[in-house]
Amino acid sequence: MAPPTTPKAAPAPRPFKPESPEARHSRVSEMQPPEPMDVKPKRKSLFLRLWPSKPQEPVYLGSSNPERGIEAARRYVKEGVLDKRYAGAASRATALICALPIAIYLSWELYQRRFNGKERKRVAQLPTEDSP
């Protein structure tokens, strides 16, 4: 049998010595930025490859003269006809106002069919003379 061993005492802790701020140094200044790896350029998405976007043209904000706008509003009230330059914007706004409720309703119906188990309405067949 081996003789019993006595446990060794832990070493005494070192006394605390505060450092002066000048003696401290920061490792941040020593750190170097990582060297760039050979990175391939990011590929454009399929959408952008099929339909490349045009650079946006500067937006014309119009005249800074508010009296012209007031005069145009009065002319519209009197004559009831907008300037021909507004025709495109007016037709887009009208199409949006007409299409948005239809799109919302149809999407809600499709959502209910897909997730809530609602079934499509079936049209009843009228009895014919051949079948009783």
Distances 70 to 24, 50, 66, 74 between C-alpha atoms, Å: 70, 44, 7, 6
pLDDT at 51: 83
- Name the nearest CA neighbour of 53 among 45, 62, 61, 65: 45
pLDDT in tens, 63-94: 778 888 888 889 889 998 778 888 888 899 99
Residue ranges per structural domain of the chain:
88-119
Contacts of 83 (CB under 8 A, 6+ apart): 72
The predicted pLDDT at position 108 comes to 96
**Which among 86, 55, 54, 52 has a CA at the least distance from the CA of 69?**
86
Gyration radius of the chain's alpha carbons: 39
The pLDDT score that the predictor gives to residue 66 is 83
Residue 104: its pLDDT value, please?
Answer: 98
Which stretches in the chain have pLDDT values below 50?
none
| The predicted structure's pLDDT at residue 100 | 97
pLDDT of residue 71: 87
pLDDT of residue 82: 79
Q: Which residues of 27-64 are buried (b: 16+ CB within 10 A; e: fewer)?
A: eeeeeeeeeeeeeeeeeeeeeeeeeeeeeeeeeeeeee
